[in-house]
Structure 1
Amino acid sequence: AAQKAMNIAPGLRRRFAAEHYSFCPPEIWSRQREKALSEIKLDTDFEGVGFDIDPTAVELARVNARLAGVEKRCHFEMADVKNFAPFTDQIVLANPPYGERLGDLDAAAKLAHQLGEALDAHPTSGAYIITADADFEKHFGKKARKRRKLYNGM
């Protein structure tokens, strides 16, 4: 989300095998990379806030934000979802652990319920939840307005 808000092109910080294709001059890649760099918006008002109860996950998020070039626009802290209180104008993106990741289906259901209660108590501009839990809506306490199927690694 931070990269999108800052107009940072996907893949800008990585190299591609196609850069070595004989029919594609290296200066084309250089020119396009320079163009993409010049279009980055440093003055965006985006502010990302992330939290997790696991300190290792929080540190990993900080490292990934630094590697993505968005660390100045993101703040991460250790916190429990039951203390989650987003602001009215915020958009919430969440990927809560579910049974497979958490290892405990009851704990995952409780976490989804707590997230639903927090969002009921603190309405936001929108909430987008990524989950593989088929029963998430039941635990969360409300139906999704729209569902999208995501594919990982395809």
Structure 2
Amino acid sequence: MTQAPAAPIDMLEHYFGAHGWACERHGDEEIVASVEGSWTQYQLRALWREDERMLQFVALPDVRVPDAKRSAIYETIGLINEQLWMGHFEMWAADGTLLFRHATLLDGDDEIGLSLDQAETLVEAAIDECERYYPVFQFVLWAGKKPAEALDAALIDTVGEA
């Protein structure tokens, strides 16, 4: 049985609830959820802009970049973003908050809806990228590695089984 498309924030609320994730809704335009990843806690935030028919999705890992490490993290973000097909990492200059962001346009002649498959893709893509690259940021921030070294060290592909 498939879930019929619903208003974007409604569908995300349904998706978060089905996973047992705590969430808080702010009208029809915004929802915030909290998810425990394998590396850290993530705040997931979706913003619906009906006029533009755009749903913006943001995942915020619990990472704040100190001033002394910002240039290295900007370089790291550049190297990572070159590899991404969907979305991008960025850092807010005001407080050093690291985040992953992407968006989707929802277009239609009638009522606009987000499908369950679309919701899953939006959420899982953000979490997957954060989980994949979290160690890279940690290597730069806390192990003192250069961005390219951190990327190489964190993304080693294993072969075989343990």
* Class of the TM-score when normalised by the shorter of the 2 chains: under 0.3
TM-score, normalised with respect to structure 2: 0.22
Q: Which has the higher strand share?
A: 2
Looking at secondary structure, tell me which structure has more helix per residue: 1
The answer to which structure, 1 or 2, has the higher relative contact order (CA under 8 A, 6+ apart) is: 2
